[in-house]
Structures are given as structure tokens and as C-alpha cells.
Amino acid sequence: MKEVYGPSAVEALVRDASPALKAVMSRRIRQGAWYPYPAYVELLRRIDARHGKGDLAYCRTLGDWAGQQDLGSMFRIYAALADPERLIRGCRLVWPQYYRNAGEMTAVTTSPSDTCVRITGFARMDSAHCRLMEGWMISTMRQIGCDVHPGDRETECVSQGGAHHEFRCTWSRA
């Protein structure tokens, strides 16, 4: 955020934020630390409203950026060793590294012609977070050498009446 929009961008985002978000942002953000989910969602929505169009599409862009950062740092070794199907199956191990008390992520299918990842047990997952996950998942697949075809998206969402969150795509090896 600071790198793209400058140091004052964060200050502008939290100026009239909730006390919970202000408390989080008043301290140095540490990778691997746990933060309240409502503050996280508020931050995503504020970023989208300020730098996007307020339709949550910018959250997908944030997810794309986050995926590039993650595979460029903490998951670099895993990504270098894993083939795409193995990396997709490994989502159940990656999810709890990011989110606590947020259900489970499982790979339902991993083939290039039909890849499906499902998040269960996380009914309160916000739509802004769903868009971020779309961007993150596709970005990580591109980082490991997959060519993701058009049409990748969340196909089922609890906030839209679904039983769980489900993300689908097709891809080929680049």
C-alpha cells in the first residue's frame, strides 16, 4: 500500500475507521501475527472504496499482489518443488497459516480441465475476502507456471446462499 500510494495512504484509510481497525493500524504490522477478522475486512473494503470503484473488484487486484508477494517469499521453496496439482492439494496446509478459526480449505479437483478449491466452515467470510482469494489463488498458480484460462472465479458463496465457498478455474502448463 505504502509502496504504491505513499505513506499518507494508510493514514487516510484509517482516519475515520472503527476503533478496532485503528488499534491494529496503530502498531507495526507483523507477518505471521493474528489480527481481528472484522478489522481485516474493514481494511479490505476501505482500500477497495478508496483505490477501486467500491465494487470489491480491487480486492481481487490486492489478492493478485499478495499472491506474488507470498510465493516470492514465504512459500518460494514449496512453489519451486511442487507441481501445480500438488500445490493445489496443499491448500489445506496453507490456509491455516493465514487464517485462524476460519474453517478449512480443500482441493476438490486439481486437474487442468477442472480445478476446484472449497472453503467450508467459514460462513462469515466476507465478499471482499472472497474477491481477494480469487486474485490470490490465480496469482499463485501463475507464479508456479500455470496459464490460467478466462472464467476463473468463485462459483459458490455463502453470502449468496451457497453451502460453502467454491473457487474454480481451468489452466494449462505455461
**What's the pLDDT tens digit per position in 124-158?**
999 999 999 999 999 988 888 889 999 999 999 99
- pLDDT, mean over the chain: 89
Range of the domain at 158: 2-173
3-state helix, strand, coil in the chain (%, to 5): 50, 15, 30
- Domain with residue 18: its CATH number is 3.90.1520.10
Query: How many distinct structural domains can be found in the chain?
Result: 1
Q: What is the pLDDT of residue 72?
A: 67
The identity of residue 57, as a single letter, is A
Residue 24 to residue 17: CA distance in whole angstroms: 11
In percent, how much of the chain has pLDDT > 90?
63
3 DSSP assignment? H
In percent, how much of the chain has pLDDT > 70?
91
Largest pairwise CA distance in the chain: 46
pLDDT digit string, tens, across residues 31-60: 778 899 999 999 999 999 999 999 999 999
pLDDT digit string, tens, across residues 13-36: 889 999 999 999 988 888 778 899
